[in-house]
Amino acid sequence: MEAATRKPYPSDVSDEERHFVLPYLTLMRPDAPPRRHDLREGFDALRWLVRTGARWAYLPHEFPAWTAVYQQARRWIAAGVFEAMTHDPRALLRAAAGREPAPTAVILDSRTLQSTPMSGGRAAYDGAERRRGSKIHVAVDTLGHLLALRVTPADAQDRAQVAALLAEVQEVTDNRVEVASVDQGYTGEAPAAEAAQRGFVPLPRRWVVERSFAWLAKFRRLARDDERVPQVLAGLHLLALVCLLLARHLSPVAQVQK
């Protein structure tokens, strides 16, 4: 395994954050061969990429080779590592804010990312946004903690994603959510019926999920759809939310655990 001897980047994970992420990043069988690259270096490379917006092949040479970083990222995404990092601390963070561990209300919304040549056939035209690209659908609790995230072509109707989003929300909250706040794109008879089947009461109003999108706007890699594989696009959004969680909430978690 290669040792890190480079100067740090502002996007690097701190020593305190490393203690949180390392158990999630370690995907190794007992009989696996020794690693060629340090996990922390691979994770730092991903954080640098999502912050700066550079292409995979443009990763600085002091990081592991971009192909190794990309392959490791695909393994982490396929294993649900970044989802686990966002979901596991949620109960502690809600307790630190004086809330019940499981939310009873969610907010649904979406945003459209401009396509690039890398988007391939997934790119589609969003008539409302007047741009061609991919659409990111999210569900968050009232504190902005992620509950579900989906990637679709930009011409996919928001209301058509209600069933899948709500099913995932109820799965991660143990069927505790009763109210869903939505914008007009998610309203209508069909979404209302889907919500009722999942135990929701949909409310047609906009909400602070826009704040989550504003947080994600700090990550230049997420300004456009520059990924060929939709799972990677979703995974980089999850990684950005992990970075925000570590930066903003690591101290409250430590206080609750004490």
Say if residue 40 is in the same domain as residue 90.
no
Q: Which of 35-49, 155-169, 221-235 has the lowest mean pLDDT?
A: 155-169
Say if residue 46 is in the same domain as residue 153.
no
Q: Are 110 and 138 in contact (CB under 8 A)?
A: yes
pLDDT at 252: 42
Residue that terminates a domain, selected from 79, 94, 118: 79
The domain containing residue 115 runs over which residues?
Answer: 85-257
Please give the structure tokens belonging to residue 83. Answer: 């989802």
Higher pLDDT, 82 or 37: 82
Nearest residue to 211 via CA among 181, 173, 170: 181
pLDDT tens digits for range 90-138: 888 888 888 988 898 888 888 899 988 888 778 788 877 788 889 999 9
Q: Is the pLDDT of residue 199 over 70?
A: no
Q: Are 91 and 256 in contact (CB under 8 A)?
A: no
Unique residue bearing structure tokens 């109003």? 205
Q: Is the pLDDT of residue 89 over 60?
A: yes
Distances (CA, A) of 164 to 71, 150, 167: 28, 9, 5
Say if residue 21 is in the same domain as residue 115.
no
Q: Which long-range contacts (CB under 8 A, 24 or more apart) does 69-73 make?
A: 69/42, 69/45, 72/37, 72/42, 73/42, 73/46, 73/232, 73/235
Residue that terminates a domain, selected from 79, 107, 123: 79
pLDDT tens digits for range 139-151: 998 888 899 999 9
Name the domain count of the chain.
Answer: 2
pLDDT at 258: 40
Q: HSE (CB half, 13 Å, CA atoms) of 206?
A: 6
Nearest residue to 225 via CA among 97, 121, 123: 123
Cα–Cα distance measured from residue 116 to residue 37, given in angstroms and rounded to the nearest whole number: 31
Q: Are 93 and 145 in contact (CB under 8 A)?
A: yes
Say if residue 61 is in the same domain as residue 112.
no
Q: Are strands 105-115 and 131-141 parallel, antiparallel or unpaired?
A: antiparallel
